[in-house]
Structure formats: C-alpha cells, structure tokens
Structure 1
Amino acid sequence: MSRRLIVGLVIVAAFILLKGAVRATSVETNNNGLILDVVFLAVDFAILTLAFEIVLRRGGTHKQALLIGTGVGVGLTVLFGCLAVGIIHPRAPHLNLTLGRQPDYLTVSLRYLLGFFRDLALWMLAFVYPILAADAERRRAEASELRRQSEIAQLRASLEPHFLLNTFNTIAGLVTKDPDEARRLLACLGELFDDISEHEDEWQTLDREVHWLKRYAEILEARHRGVLSFEWNIDEATRSFKLPRLLLQPLLENAVKHGALRRDGDGRVTVRSTRVHRTGEDFVVCSIDDNGPGLPPDEVRPGAKGLDIVRRRLKLHLPNSRLTVDSSAQGVHVLVEIPELRT
C-alpha cells in the first residue's frame, strides 16, 4: 500500500471518528445519520476517484480530471436529492433521506450539495493534494537535473576547447624546432582525447585522473623543457576515490601558466593527494602548488578561469566539498577536499 493511500485513509478515518464523537455528545443521538454520512462519504469518494482516474488515463491533466470529477459528482448529487424527495422518501421515510425536512426538491438538493462539497474538500486533502505535491516535487527535481546537466555541458564546453587550444599552441611551437617531438606530442594528444571520448561517465577515479594529468604534463614539459618540472606525490590510499572528470586539469594549467612559468628557469608544480577521516566520513585532499610569484593582492590572476570552473563543478556535484587558495611570495597553494562518493 502506497504512503499516499495510507495518509488518505488515516485522514478519512479521523474525520469519521470526529463526526461520530460530535454526534455522540449531541442531545439527539442518531446512529442512522452517522451511517448515512459514512455511506455518502464512501460513494462520493468512489465517484470522484473513478472520474479522476478515467480522465488521467485518457491523457487529461490533473485540473481537467478534478473539474470533470466535480461536475459528475454535482450532477449525481442533485439527481439523488430529487430521487430522495420524489421516490425514496414516500416509500421509506424511516431512512430520513430528506434530512428531517419536508420533501422539497430545492432545499434537499442544496443540503446534499453542501455535503458533497464537504466530501470533495476532504477527498482533495486526503488523496489529491499528496498526488499534486508529489508531482510538483518530481517536476522540480527534473528541472533541477536539467539545469545541472546544462551547467555541466557549459562547463565542459568551456574546459575542453580551452585545453585543446593551449595544447595546439604548445605543439605549434615545436613543429619547426623539433618535428619528431611535435609528432610524438600529437600522438600523446590523440591518446588524451581517446581517453576522454571512451568514457561518457562524468566520474572517474583519482588514479585515472592522475594518469591523464601526467600525459598532459608531459606535453607541457616538452614545450618548456628545462624551465618547467612536475613532482607527483600520490597516496596509494586515494587512488580509488572518485571525482568529476578533469576536475584538476584547470588547476594544473593555472599553476603552470600563471605560476611556475613566471619563474626564471626553475618553475615547479607539485601535485599531492592524501586521505583523511573526519566527522565519520573519508575525504581525499588534493593539492596543487606552484612556486610562482603568487596572486596579486585582492585580485584574480588575469585570464585564470580554472578556479571558477572548479568551484562551479564542485558546487554542482559535491556540495560537501571544499576549495581553498593560499598565496604568498613563494607561490600559490590550491587545495581541493572531496568526500568519498557513496554509491
């Protein structure tokens, strides 16, 4: 039994018990009246539910189903009021279907209509409102997912061409100076994009991310041979952690372009990862350090879009993550803290 149905039945049962308690404390106790109320409630609910389901199954909207169900219920209620006055009451007056009044078509029909609208309100509260609320939540979740996918697509569209342009600039600088090296780096670039195209999943392990970054760093070292070097210190316990694909690439590119290459001949970038346990959860902490001149006071390095890209991706994928940037005259230290992905 669905949760919505259980909630609806509880509301209806509470209404019947409350009405029974009110009748029990009244001066004129009429058990027959309570039984009729319950019967009418059940009939009204059956009519409304049946009309509602038929309209929905034929492709109608919730609003159309509600209007048609209400219209059918009103029509049947007026018809029953007329039958109660003209046919049933003369033959079975003990049923009190005229509600203690003289047989009058208009008055009795209006009283039955008031009872129907009371039952309609209870039916909507007990059964329709939970359906509409769940449907609204589903649409909200779908819209949120579409926005998330659109944002990810925009981020990747800005990330991959940015990387490609810089890599081709690197290779272009080697075409005349060292054709063999340029061909080798083109082959390396092909391997990098093969790796991207082979995996549609937005997530990958840190081990695969580092493997990709090392090939990317190889291209950069070839372009800046003798003035740029990389150091890798990856904790084995972190290699199985999952993170969004190419999350660290913009940070590495920023550390090279805006940090290490601004040194005079001894630019260095260090990539580290460690595993920490805090507040009952495991985290992987990745840091990328450069020995450049640091950030200008209260400014972002010109053209450095990597931090913004990473922040937005972390916000989309991992709200519990953290990105911090520390700058000094000895360089920039960027730290990304990512919780273990639960599957």
Structure 2
Amino acid sequence: MSRRLIVGLLIVAAFVLLKGAVRATAVEASSYGLTFEIFLLVMDFSVLTLGFELALRRGATHKNALLVAAAVGALVTVLFSCLAVGVFHPRAPELNLTLGRHPDYLTVTLRYLLGFSRNLALWMLAFVYPILAADAERRRAEASELRRQSEIAQLRASLEPHFLLNTFNTIAGLVTKDPDEARRLLACLGALFDDISEHEDEWQTLDREVHWLQRYAEILEARHRGVLTFEWNIDEATRSFKLPRLLLQPLLENAVKHGALRRDGDGRVTVRSRRVRKTGGEDYVVCSIDDNGPGLPADKVRPGAKGLDIVRRRLNLHLPNSRLTVDSSAQGVHVLVEIPEART
C-alpha cells in the first residue's frame, strides 16, 4: 500500500471519528443517521475514485479527470436522493435518512448535493492533492533534468572542439620539424579519443581522468620540449573517486596556455590530489592545478580563457556542494577543486 493511500485513509478515518464524536453529543443521537452518513461518504469516495481512474485511463489530464469524477459523483448523488425520497423513506422511515418529516425532491437533492460537495473536498484533500503534488514535483524534476542535460551537451560541445583545435595546432607545429614525433603524437591523440568514445558515462574515476591528462600533457611537452614540464602528485586514496569526465582538462589547459608558457623557458604545471577532512568531520577530495606563470591580470580574467567558467558551471550542475577557488600571485595561479565524498 502506497504512503499516499495510507495518508488518505487516515484523513478519512479522522473525519469519521470526528463526525461520530459530534453525533454522540447531539440531543437526538441516532446510530442510523451516523451509519447512513458513513455510507454516503464511502459511496461518494468510491464513485469519485472510479470516475477519476477511468478518465485517466482514457488519456484525460488530471484536471479533466477531476471534472469528470465530480460530474459523475454529482449525478449519482442526484439519483440517490430521488431513490431516498421515493423508495427508501416511505418504506423505512425509521432509518432517518436526514430527509425531514415531509421530504420533497428538490430540498433533499440540494441537501445531498451539499453533503456531496463536502465529501468531494475531503476526497480531493485525502487522495487527489497528493497525486497532483507528486505529479508536479515529477514534472519539475524532469524539466530540471532536461535543462541539466541540455547545459551539459552545450558545455561538451564547447569543450571538445576547443581541445581538438589546440591539439591539432600542437601537432601541426611538428609535421615539418619532426615527422616521426608528429606521427607518434597523432597516435597518442587517437588513443585519447578512443578512450572518450569507449566510455559514454558522464562520470569516471580520478585515476582514469589523470591517465587521460597525462597523455594530453605528453602532447604538450613534445611541442614545448625543454620549455614545459609537468609534475604529478596523486594520492592513491583518491584514485577510485568518481567525478565528471574531463572536469580537470580545461584547468590544465589554462595553466599551460595562460600560465606556464608565459615564462621564459622553465614553465611548470603541478597536478595534485588528496583527501582532506574539514571541520565537522566531512571528507573532501581536493584536486589542485598550479602553474608558475605571471598570475592573473588585475581584473582576474585571463583573455580568451574559458576553462574556469566551464568547470564552475559543470560543478554547479553535477556537484552543487563542491567549490572552485582561484588564488593568484606573481609566482603563479593556484586552482583548487574541493568535492565532498558524501555527495547529496
């Protein structure tokens, strides 16, 4: 039994108990009257639920199904009021069907319709409102997921051609100078894209991410031999941690293009990862990428650099509890990505 159904039944039970308590304190209490009102409640709920479900099965929206159920319930109430006045009351007046001493069709019908409207409101509160609320939440979640997937697709479309163009420029510089090296780097590039095409999952382990970045760094080191070096300090305890694919690649590319290569002959990029326990006991995986370039300009934005914006947006989409910080000085730029291990 679903939780919504249990909640609805509890609401109905509470209403019946309250109604019984009021009846018990009445001057002319009648068990027949209470039993009859409970019968009307069950009848109304059954008709409303049946009409609602049948309308939904025929493809009606929740709003239209609710209108159909209310119309069917009102029609059944009118028919039952006619039976009560013309059949039940004359044959068994002791049942006290809340008709009065001299019932007429119009008065009784209006009285029953008033009771039906009360039961309709209770039925909507107990059973329909939770369904509509859950449906609205589901639609909101679906819309949010569609927006997220669209944003991710736009980010990947922006990231991958940007990376490909820069990599081909690197290889193009070696075609005439060192054809063997250019062929080797083309093979390396092919291996990189094989790795991308073989794994369609948006997530991958940090170990695989670092392996991919090291191949990428090999291409860059080949072009800028003697000018650019990389250092890797990856904590073994972080290698199995999962993060969005190619999350760190724009940061590495920024550190090279706008940092290390702006020095005279001794550019260096350092990639680190470690586990950190923050105050309060929450564990984080921290990845940092440092360069020894001239630092950020006064406005904190490197001309043409999109990497920070891409990573920040992907973190907001995938890992809203994470944090990206950038520290700059004359000795270089330090970029830190902090991701909680217990992601919610």
TM-score under structure 2 length normalisation: 0.97
Instruction: Output the amino acid matched with 1:119.
Output: N
- Structure 1 distance, partners of 2:103, 2:235, is 89
Distance, in Å, in 1 between the alignment partners of 2:209 and 2:33 is 74
In structure 2, what is the equivalent of residue 132 of structure 1? 132
CA positional deviation for 1:277 = 2.3
1:280 and 2:277 correspond: no
Give 3-state SS (helix, strand or coil) of 2:136's partner: helix
Q: Is the 8 A contact 2:275 2:286 kept in 1?
A: yes
After superposition, residues 54-133 of structure 1 pair within 5 angstroms as 54-97=54-97, 99-133=99-133
| Larger mean Cα displacement after TM superposition, 247-256 or 295-304 | 295-304
Structure 1 residue runs of 5 or longer lacking an equivalent are none
Aligned position for 1:290 = 291
**Superposed, which structure 2 residues align to 1:149-188 within 5 Å?**
149-188=149-188
Q: Which amino acid aligns with 2:285?
A: V
Q: Is it true that 1:301 corresponds to 2:293 in the alignment?
A: no
SS of the residue corresponding to residue 334 of structure 2 reads strand
Could you tell which deviates more after superposition, 18-27 or 182-191?
Answer: 18-27
Structure 2 CA distance for aligned equivalents of residues 188 and 341 of structure 1: 35
> Is residue 321–residue 343 contact of structure 2 (8 Å, CA) maintained in 1?
no
By how many angstroms is 1:92 displaced? 1.4
Give the SS at the match of 1:214: helix
Q: Which runs of structure 2 are paired with 1:24-39 in the superposition (5 Å)?
A: 24-39=24-39
TM-superposition CA deviations, 1:241-279 (whole Å, max 9, x none): 111100000000000000001001111111111111233
Aligned to 2:267: 267
In 2, Cα distance between the equivalents of 1:27 and 1:88? 25
How big is the shift at 1:342? 5.9
Structure 1 segments of 4 or more deviating over 4 A?
A: none
Mapped partners of 1:341, 1:174: distance in 2: 45
Q: SS state of the match for residue 180, structure 1?
A: helix
Report what 2:211 is aligned to.
211
Contact 2:238 2:273 survives alignment (8 Å): yes
Q: Is the CA contact 2:283–2:342 (under 8 Å) kept in the aligned structure 1? A: no
What is the identity, as a one-letter code, of the residue corresponding to 1:14? A
1:328 counterpart residue number? 329
C-alpha displacement at 1:280, in angstroms? 3.4
Q: Report the Cα offset of residue 96 of structure 1.
A: 2.3
Structure 1-normalised TM-score? 0.97
% identity of equivalent residues: 86
Contact 1:84–1:98 at 8 Å: present in 2 too? no
Partner of 2:311: 310
AA matched with 1:103: P
Aligned length: 343
Residues 52 and 65 in structure 1, CA contact (< 8 A), matched pair in contact too = yes
Alpha carbons of 1:101 and 1:71: their partners in 2 closer, same or farther (altered >3 Å)? farther
Report if the CA contact (8 A) 1:44-1:73 is conserved. yes
- Across the aligned residues of Structure 1 and Structure 2, the Cα RMSD in angstroms comes to 1.3
Q: Deviations over 1:161-196 (max 9, x none)?
A: 110000011111111111111111111000000000
For 2:87 and 2:274, the matched residues in 1 are separated by 86
> Is 2:85–2:99's contact at 8 Å kept on the other side of the alignment?
no
Q: Deviations over 1:126-160 (max 9, x none)?
A: 00101111111111111111111111111111111
Q: What residue in structure 2 maps to residue 258 of structure 1?
A: 258
- How far the C-alpha of 1:223 sits from its partner, in A, is 1.1
The 8 Å contact of residues 82 and 105 in structure 1, kept in 2 or not, is answered as yes
